[in-house]
């Protein structure tokens, strides 16, 4: 059950949660707002500090590596999400917003592709996630959402 933990859970083949993913399609989700959202979840006891914490909007992605229990800690990796969205919706206009559920499906599909190696790792943002070890950690993992496992 994902309610309260994350919008998307990434599990290793042995069942461990390796990443919790939070989709917040706010147009102004900058690094400070991302830290505040992560800290709010941390203070509520809704963050698994043994897993990666990934927060994404339509424009930006923020990744904290495992062990991110410190409040106020900036993301370990910041990356653009626009290239991922454009791959799925190439005709999306610059100021057009996706519905949150649509963005969640885009992110879940992208994570599944990363987990099975079905996406170029030389492009942005994948290159940054490879460098951080995130892609290695989710290799062959299962990506679960509320709507579809």
DSSP code for 5: T
What does the angle CA 145 – CA 51 – CA 135 come to, to the nearest 5 degrees? 75
Report pLDDT for 71: 81
Boundaries of every domain in the chain: 8-145
The pLDDT tens digits along the chain (149 residues) read 444 678 999 999 999 999 999 999 888 899 999 999 888 887 776 666 678 999 999 999 999 998 776 788 899 999 999 999 999 999 998 889 999 999 999 999 999 999 998 888 788 899 999 999 999 999 999 999 875 44
What does the angle CA 78 – CA 118 – CA 90 come to, to the nearest 5 degrees? 65
Closest residue by Cα to residue 42 from 88, 73, 3: 73
| Beta-strand runs (E) in the chain | 8-11, 17-23, 52-56, 60-64, 77-80, 142-145
The CA-atom distances, in angstroms, between 114 and each of 51, 78, 103 are: 17, 17, 16
Predicted structure pTM score: 0.90
């Amino acid at each position: 059950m994902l309610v309260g933990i994350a919008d998307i859970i990434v599990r290793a083949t042995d069942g461990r949660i390796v990443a919790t993913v939070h989709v917040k399609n706010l147009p102004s989700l900058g690094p400070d707002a991302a830290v505040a959202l992560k800290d709010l979840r941390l203070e509520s006891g809704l963050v698994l500090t043994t897993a990666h914490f990934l927060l994404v909007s339509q424009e930006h992605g923020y990744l904290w590596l495992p062990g991110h229990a410190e409040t106020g800690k900036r993301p370990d990796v910041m990356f653009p999400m626009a290239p991922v969205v454009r791959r799925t919706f190439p005709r999306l206009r610059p100021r057009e917003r996706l519905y949150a559920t649509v963005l969640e499906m885009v992110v879940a599909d992208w994570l599944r592709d990363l987990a099975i190696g079905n996406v170029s790792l030389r492009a942005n943002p994948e290159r940054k996630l490879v460098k951080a070890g995130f892609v290695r950690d989710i290799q062959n993992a299962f990506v679960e959402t509320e709507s579809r496992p």
